[in-house]
Amino acid sequence: MSMENDSNLLRTFAVSCLLLILWGMTVLGPGTGVQHRLNVGKGYDDPSFVASIRQATSKMSGAQIEAFEWAIGQLDAHAFVARYGASPAVRDVVVGEVVRFVDAKRKSIASIEARLRGMDEQIRESERVRLATLELLKTYVPVITRIEAANMTAGDSPERSANRQCGELANMETDSVGAGVRIWYRLENPHGISLKSLPCRLSYRVGKGARAYEMEFDCLSRQRRGEALEFCVRPPWMRWIYSGDISVSMIAIHENATIARPGNPGHEASAVSDTVPELAELRRYRRQMKQVLDYKTTM
């Protein structure tokens, strides 16, 4: 092959790359989703700020929106601008707040760990009691008794209690590729344990090898109201979905269960508590750090 032919191929390749970049800038704009730049304007109530958030979140996943809402909740408008300027990208705000939060919690954790030194016997007894309580709680479990699926077409209105994904399905402009799902369940509690809340995690997928989705809710509150649990599935390769196509499982998150606080029934206390207060505080800080670090990974 001649040098002239090589040169022509390189020019053709360069032009193709340039066209692809220009196409991306035209279609995607200056920044979409977590890369979209916000416009704080005169504050959080400024219409330009609200509009820029709407544009950003329209291209973000539910997990990314949750992370952004958490980050914004850490700041007032003055602190927002002082730290990130008047037009930062969503990612910069979330990552910046995660770093600040984690640095502060690490210092608090180090302080607690210093206070716990020399308390080995108390720590062992607290752990023994906590694990025994957790084992007892694990007998309190949800059992799915029935599943129904109703195919939805574009524009169908889901029930108000359905999750965000149902709302997205109702606004589709294409033909039906999804279903509204309802499940019923009972709670087995052989030891008659009295709880104020019992968080549960529902996992569901359509078809073998499909991606699994998860949602969390309080098993007890919905059970008391006698409501079915509602959610939506949208597999891209199926036009119609039937109950038998859907795989659903539900587990209780026992370590996050709560009881009525002694002496103050209107408030909650952890059902799996530590007899050493510093240990409870240490676990709480570590849980918070994990959740916040998970926010960072969505960016």
Tens of pLDDT, residues 14-49: 444 433 433 343 344 434 689 999 988 777 888 888
β-pairing, 199-206 vs 213-218, is antiparallel
Rounded-to-integer distance, Cα 233 and Cα 228, Å = 16
Give the per-residue pLDDT at 28: 40
Q: Which residue has the tokens 């539910």?
A: 62
Taking phi over 0 as left and psi of -120 to 50 as alpha, with beta for the rest, 219 belongs to alpha
Give the per-residue pLDDT at 228: 74
CB-based contacts of 93, cutoff 8 Å, min separation 6: 38, 68, 71, 72, 75, 80, 84
User: Alpha helices, DSSP H only, in 138-261?
Assistant: 164-170, 219-225
CB-based contacts of 39, cutoff 8 Å, min separation 6: 46, 48, 49, 51, 52, 86, 87
pLDDT above 80: residue 250: yes
β-pairing, 178-188 vs 213-218, is unpaired
Q: Report, as an integer, the average pLDDT of 57-75.
A: 89
Q: Which range is least confidently modeled, 19-33, 126-140, 143-157?
A: 19-33
Contact between residue 238 and residue 177 where contact means Cβ atoms under 8 Å apart: yes
Contact between residue 33 and residue 64 where contact means Cβ atoms under 8 Å apart: yes
Beta bridge partners of 250: 202
Give the per-residue pLDDT at 223: 74
Per-residue pLDDT tens digits for 170-221: 333 334 455 667 788 999 999 999 999 999 998 877 666 666 677 888 998 8
Rounded-to-integer distance, Cα 84 and Cα 297, Å = 20
Give the per-residue pLDDT at 265: 66
* E strands present in the chain: 141-152, 178-188, 199-206, 213-218, 229-233, 246-252, 258-261, 264-270
Give the per-residue pLDDT at 140: 95
Give the per-residue pLDDT at 102: 95
Banded model confidence at residue 273, pLDDT cuts 50, 70, 90: confident
Give the per-residue pLDDT at 209: 61
Q: Which residue has the higher pLDDT, 246 or 154?
A: 246
The token duo for 248 is: 């659903």
Q: Which of 124-128, 223-227, 245-249 has the highest mean pLDDT?
A: 124-128
Give the per-residue pLDDT at 22: 37
% of the chain with per-residue pLDDT over 90: 31
pTM here? 0.57
Q: Which residue has the tokens 């770093």?
A: 99
The terminus-to-terminus CA distance of the chain in angstroms comes to: 46
Q: Which residue has the higher pLDDT, 53 or 242?
A: 53
Give the per-residue pLDDT at 294: 93
